[in-house]
Amino acid sequence: MHNVLTLGKIAELVGGELRGDPAVEIRSVAPLSSAGPGDLTWVVDRQHAAQLSECQASAVLLRCGLENGQLSAVVCDRPELGISKVLECFMPPLPHPPVGVDPTALIADGVTLGEESAIGPRVLIQRDVAVGRRTKIHAGAVIAAETQIGDDCTIWPNVVIRERCRIGNRVVIHPNTTIGADGFGYNFDETRFRKIPHIGTVRIEDDVEIGANSCIDRGKYSETVIGRGTKIDNLVQIAHNVRIGENCCIVAHVGIAGSTELGDFVTLAGKVGVKDNIRIGNQVQAAACSCIAGDVEDGQIVLGIPAKPKSEFFREHLAVRRMPKALEDIRDLRKRIERLEAANNQETS
């Protein structure tokens, strides 16, 4: 990072209120625990604001209503969003292939390349593919026949996009991800497993980002769909005919089984497993390591195995925590009953 921003410029950038010297120079961004001179840090709660008196940063991006100690500050409603804008200013240029087609790339007949597109080394593009304007395809990627890729996309190294897939505009696909592989479908005929043909495809809408080493399988007979604005982490498995709505967040190690439908603004935290042929409503949140085995209504927060609504899960969890004491009380009651019965037998004998 070689850029330098003044604190006054940062206040303008994030739309915040300046407290301190606008000429303070910021050369980098660092977390509160390690920030030093020349760094900008950020604080969003009172617990961390209490640590600012010991912080060595040059300035802090601070949530409204918090005290900044002795540091110069920019105060705003959403420091976590503001810090992203600052990081964009310090981010070095990404290493994209130059505009044009690398001499080692293999381009089949009938391929259409948009203006200012960039095709890197050893890329393979099969017949009748259409690549949009300013789209960058990095080294070793394979784009299979009849696929369409929109404008301003970035396809990182060794991505595989199988035949007839549809990729929207401004889509980012990170290294080693596969789009449009066959779904996992077999029938057992009493002697062996017979593969079910998957003749569908994958449609990825605008502004989607897909992490590294993820797999999105093609539909068995129609489309697997990733809705506009959805963000998918690394190492995610999305099976055939899944339909994911708009602006969802799918975190690492999530597995979604076939023909399941997610609404809009759904968040699945790390290692969530989702059963096939169910529907998850809009604005659902699933905690890490949950297993969703049935339909979930709009707006629910679910967790556990199997996943249950938050209130129900904690009620049951509290009951389980109380179980050892309940068992101890039952043992004590049993002993008291035995003593009473023994005393009663002695009186009647």
Arithmetic mean of pLDDT, 230-254: 98
Could you give the angle at which helices 79-90 and 7-14 cross, rounded to 10 degrees? 120
Arithmetic mean of pLDDT, 8-34: 93
Q: Model confidence over 330-346: pLDDT tens digits? A: 888 888 888 888 778 87
Average pLDDT, the chain: 94
The DSSP symbol for 126 reads: -
Q: What is the pLDDT of residue 349?
A: 64
Catalytic residue ranges: 240
Q: How confident is the model at residue 1 (pLDDT cuts 50, 70, 90)?
A: very low
* Alpha carbon distance 347, 322 (integer Å): 38
Phi, psi of 108 (to 5 degrees): -80, 175
Query: Residue 2: is its pLDDT beyond 60?
Result: no
CATH superfamily of 5-90: MurE/MurF, N-terminal domain (3.40.1390.10)
Q: Where are the domains of the chain?
A: 5-90, 101-308
Q: What is the pLDDT of residue 327?
A: 82
Instruction: Quote the tokens at residue 11.
Output: 């206040």
Topology, domain 101-308 = UDP N-Acetylglucosamine Acyltransferase; domain 1 (2.160.10)
Q: How confident is the model at residue 209 (pLDDT cuts 50, 70, 90)?
A: very high
Closest CA to 271 of 256, 257, 288, 248: 288
Q: How confident is the model at residue 166 (pLDDT cuts 50, 70, 90)?
A: very high
With b meaning 16 or more CB within 10 Å and e meaning fewer, what string describes 50-74? eebeebebbbbbbbeebebbebbbb
Q: Model confidence over 54-96: pLDDT tens digits? A: 899 999 999 999 887 788 999 999 999 999 999 999 998 889 9
Q: Can you tell me which residue has the tokens 């990729």? A: 167
Looking at the chain, the whole-number percentage of residues with pLDDT higher than 70 is: 99
Q: What is the pLDDT of residue 336?
A: 85
Q: What is the pLDDT of residue 341?
A: 81
Q: What is the pLDDT of residue 329?
A: 80
